[in-house]
Structure 1
């Protein structure tokens, strides 16, 4: 029964409750601290595996259906007696959590199908990249199936009956919705047990578990897939990942394939624009390069070299569209079929968009590379504020990105603080005591000293022609290399930028973070893509424009909890690297709490996790260490 199920699953600790003393103070050695950190992250994975090994089967699918028939008309809490494992002919169905009533969030279910039953060729999951692609494809398959199955439930006046799985967008991300282990495929989804008010509609639930569930299981077998489409999908993702490695080896920071469709369908959609008047991307001839990929063979397109790149052009000609495409080039994308979308618009996995973020919190950030000599003698080597201005938020954003390992920064003048980007000669003569050294004076030093490139969309300030290695013009959504013209104009109309250009950039300090100071003991939730709620505090992630999916934000919240559980103090970047190693090893389940399963998590980049930590206002425990 349900009590035995939870006793076996959680060792008598109660539903989802652990016994670790996460708030204890530690005087352990660094090696012991690392061990404790790893244990704090890994405990949920051990629990996941232990549950898989020890849980007993409550009965067959026929017995499940019979029990549902007997429940018809009973109060809703009776559904909770179904929690446990049920055996279908081709799989195991786990009912992990039943909602408290029909108005609560839906129940959590899990399917486990042995590889011997599913029969997917090993070639489709022989590498991590291929496994991620296969799992993403299956998530999309289940998403389509669940949408169609839910539409067929025309139950007027009743609640529930809907199957739901994480719905992917255009990006292919590692998710918790479908995962592969050594023995089986695991599929996590939700189901709203049907009711009229708070009275069980057992006959409606019977329809789901007698008819819909076997169809869902069948949809997860290799024999029922469009096998050519699946193979092409997996190979496309592998090609994109290979291309990302090849551009790095070639000294490039970005690549845009000929034929790519950069515009989106609308401002609220990430799907490619459709229509007969679309302008597909074509590389300027002198920037065109060719790569050979393992599956599709030769591909041609524009290579953007490391250094400082300026994207200029008139309004509404495609500058920001190009930058937006590059900002999401850190992710793999779904294949576009005969016409490309953005699947071969590829950038470094560590490219980071930086924008003004007025009002954000800053904690112990060394912004002295950009800002010094503040009124009142306020130090900028370990700068903190609860309400940053546009320029200080951008200075902190650049330094935090560099601390987290960014190797390419993206700037759009429309979303940047003007006084951080530029200060012309007239303003320099008028205001001699400005504490801000603008980006234009540091951007080349940042590349020389720290190998961090910059790509900037600038339409109103020609001074950047003096510092750019490459100048592109977007005109009618077509791209032109106008570097020589820009250099000629810069010589004809001097700006004086070189007089104020910095010879060195400065150090990038690392900061120590005490994990237990992250406030997760309060009620927490992820609200859409841009907000994490920690008690009374709303952590605003609106400036993290490269978050591609709501499920990444949910994963960031779970990462907060795992980081908090570690308890020891290490540098932020080191802590994130360790977190990455553990997720690499154990998958997205490493981010879930003990005994809990969440099928709505998608893997965020470490950059976004770190930037989210940096925006927690109530988190105070940072100390700055001046080390490169």
Structure 2
């Protein structure tokens, strides 16, 4: 019995009988365009459960994709991204769904067949995987029901008529091979440019002509009407020659300490957000396709209320009135300053070579302490040593650069290697002017302090501070609570349900896709098995990253076949999730 006959025979039965369609079925593509295989790996248990996991396997020859586009990992990732987007468009056009659909009664209801929802970034995903002979598309299907009864005829139409047509539209005819080649070529060029940043001693690159503003605060789409194209200051202009023969020019953000200043609403935070998201390549037309940053650059902010587990925040906070040991700082409710200190130290522990900080989302007392406050509150009575006093040593000793947005204080002018001022989204290098102002201010402060009989302001020479950021060793079993009964799962982009606890990732600013969060949820399960009271958290996360390198994202899945819709997270985001788990315990 073929699949259409089987589904029709199930019409009106209890929903649980859908389990009979598990297995492999042949799909005939319309117009004598060949066959595909449909693997039904997991069937949803009721109409309200997560949709069924199915895969469509198609002979690569039928797609006509040239072998050279799939000859390396980068090509396969980019081609998979292209086909994922093509399949999503074809499914939406045929089945409707979303705000633009006129065909569905509920326009906010997603179509019953989904392959994931890629955004502006190109990420390694599980949605389309290439083998030597096949293209393997991983989709979800919401099997139709009337109450809790099977709608077999509708299911037969969905899987045996509409799905083959979607596959044909997206992967066979017409597959725009020129557009596919351009997509793959762009991605390969982007990775090549990003790989050159370290040898060029750059943290980030922002191309001339880049369109950085977004349509709104809750949209990642480019502001095409009225957005100001980026233009590099001459002193920071650099160029890259890329494998395709393309040359791109723009602003190189050097290693060291870079301060971005300007009036309100002139584009400071917009530039920093683009640099933050530059850890991922973007699709053509996004406006930020030539904004690339070091892949380990980490955005940090204050995060009131988060938990910390034995984090050494002593470079910034010491001698607390409570007597708490800040070399192994543990709390379930960190303040703004202690949370930002912990976020910084954890980012460095996770391998960050650059920190991206906006004063608008920072704790003021962590960032700066002005001269008047220094005179009124002596250093021995203030437990916080502000970031401005540590940022130079952080770079000189650990090689960690900082890109900082400052709109209300010039405190970082003394320590900045470069100061970039934005005026109506147009950048200018004002480093020399900032240094002159800093020197004049220091002279004025010394003169005022002497006339008032006050001590000199603190020494700004920034002696070596020995940032010895230790790699912590989690206790065995600390990621495996006794009351945990279900696998971890993502609840949106910013939350992971882990046992009875929710891990809040809302302050992990470079997590861009729910599929990444779901991959982190699976990663936590894997890490729980590898934590042995001997392995450092850094080494455990690195080993997990190598596992993905070797086996793909499928290696994270707890079951064979369709792994669910996953996108690759960075090691920094995996470590961030572990660090925010309230059950984490650190050995010693």
TM-score by length of 1: 0.85
Instruction: State the aligned residue count.
Output: 557
The answer to whether residue 521 in structure 2 is matched with residue 557 in structure 1 is yes
Tell which has more relative contact order, 1 or 2 (C-alpha 8 A, sep 6+). Answer: 1
Which whole-Å CA distance do the structure 2 matches of 1:153 and 1:266 have between them?
Answer: 25
**Pairing partner for 1:385 from 316, 331, 336:** 331
- Where does residue 112 of structure 2 map in the other structure? 162
Q: Which 4+ stretches in 1 moved above 6 angstroms? A: none
- Where does residue 407 of structure 1 map in the other structure? 353
- Where does residue 595 of structure 1 map in the other structure? 560
CA RMSD of aligned residues (A): 2.0
> 1:185 and 1:440, CA in 2 relative to 1: closer, same or farther beyond 3 A?
same
Range 304-313 or range 266-275, more displaced: 266-275
TM-score by length of 2: 0.91
CA contact (8 A) 1:134 1:234 kept: yes
Which whole-Å CA distance do the structure 2 matches of 1:516 and 1:368 have between them?
Answer: 28
Q: What is the CA deviation profile of residues 590-614 of structure 1, one whole-angstrom value per residue up to 9, with x for unaligned ones?
A: 1110336333111100000001100
Question: C-alpha displacement at 1:500, in angstroms?
Answer: 6.9
- Where does residue 398 of structure 1 map in the other structure? 344
CA contact (8 A) 2:531 2:540 kept: no
The answer to whether residue 31 in structure 2 is matched with residue 85 in structure 1 is no
Which whole-Å CA distance do the structure 2 matches of 1:348 and 1:100 have between them?
Answer: 44
SS of aligned partner of 2:140: strand
- Where does residue 176 of structure 1 map in the other structure? 126
Question: C-alpha displacement at 1:218, in angstroms?
Answer: 2.0
- Where does residue 472 of structure 1 map in the other structure? 420
Which whole-Å CA distance do the structure 1 matches of 2:439 and 2:110 have between them?
Answer: 70
Question: C-alpha displacement at 1:222, in angstroms?
Answer: 5.4
The answer to whether residue 337 in structure 2 is matched with residue 373 in structure 1 is no
The answer to whether residue 464 in structure 2 is matched with residue 503 in structure 1 is yes
CA contact (8 A) 1:160 1:195 kept: no
CA contact (8 A) 1:136 1:172 kept: yes
Range 402-411 or range 517-526, more displaced: 517-526
Q: What is the CA deviation profile of residues 247-275 of structure 1, one whole-angstrom value per residue up to 9, with x for unaligned ones?
A: 22111111100000000111111111121
Question: C-alpha displacement at 1:580, in angstroms?
Answer: 0.8
Question: C-alpha displacement at 1:619, in angstroms?
Answer: 2.2
Which whole-Å CA distance do the structure 1 matches of 2:388 and 2:458 have between them?
Answer: 8
**Pairing partner for 2:135 from 180, 185, 191:** 185
CA contact (8 A) 2:307 2:330 kept: yes
- Where does residue 545 of structure 1 map in the other structure? 509
- Where does residue 228 of structure 1 map in the other structure? 178
CA contact (8 A) 2:62 2:172 kept: no
SS of aligned partner of 2:259: strand
The answer to whether residue 11 in structure 2 is matched with residue 72 in structure 1 is yes
Q: What is the CA deviation profile of residues 448-468 of structure 1, one whole-angstrom value per residue up to 9, with x for unaligned ones?
A: 111100000001111210000
- Where does residue 211 of structure 1 map in the other structure? 161
> 1:206 and 1:478, CA in 2 relative to 1: closer, same or farther beyond 3 A?
same
Q: What is the CA deviation profile of residues 520-564 of structure 1, one whole-angstrom value per residue up to 9, with x for unaligned ones?
A: 633443111111122332211111010011111111111001111
Which whole-Å CA distance do the structure 2 matches of 1:155 and 1:313 have between them?
Answer: 48
Which whole-Å CA distance do the structure 1 matches of 2:199 and 2:70 have between them?
Answer: 26
- Where does residue 346 of structure 1 map in the other structure? 292
The answer to whether residue 235 in structure 2 is matched with residue 274 in structure 1 is no
Question: C-alpha displacement at 1:156, in angstroms?
Answer: 7.1
Question: C-alpha displacement at 1:568, in angstroms?
Answer: 2.1
> 1:607 and 1:307, CA in 2 relative to 1: closer, same or farther beyond 3 A?
same
Range 216-225 or range 535-544, more displaced: 216-225
Which whole-Å CA distance do the structure 2 matches of 1:288 and 1:567 have between them?
Answer: 46
Unaligned runs of 5+ in 2: 28-33, 446-456
- Where does residue 239 of structure 2 map in the other structure? 290
CA contact (8 A) 1:90 1:117 kept: no
- Where does residue 13 of structure 1 map in the other structure? none
Which whole-Å CA distance do the structure 2 matches of 1:194 and 1:222 have between them?
Answer: 27
Q: What is the CA deviation profile of residues 350-395 of structure 1, one whole-angstrom value per residue up to 9, with x for unaligned ones?
A: 1001100111101011111111112243211111111111111111
Unaligned runs of 5+ in 1: 1-58
Q: What is the CA deviation profile of residues 130-165 of structure 1, one whole-angstrom value per residue up to 9, with x for unaligned ones?
A: 1111111111111111112222996879x9971111
Q: What is the CA deviation profile of residues 64-106 of structure 1, one whole-angstrom value per residue up to 9, with x for unaligned ones?
A: 1111222222222222111111123522211112212223221
Which whole-Å CA distance do the structure 2 matches of 1:415 and 1:156 have between them?
Answer: 42
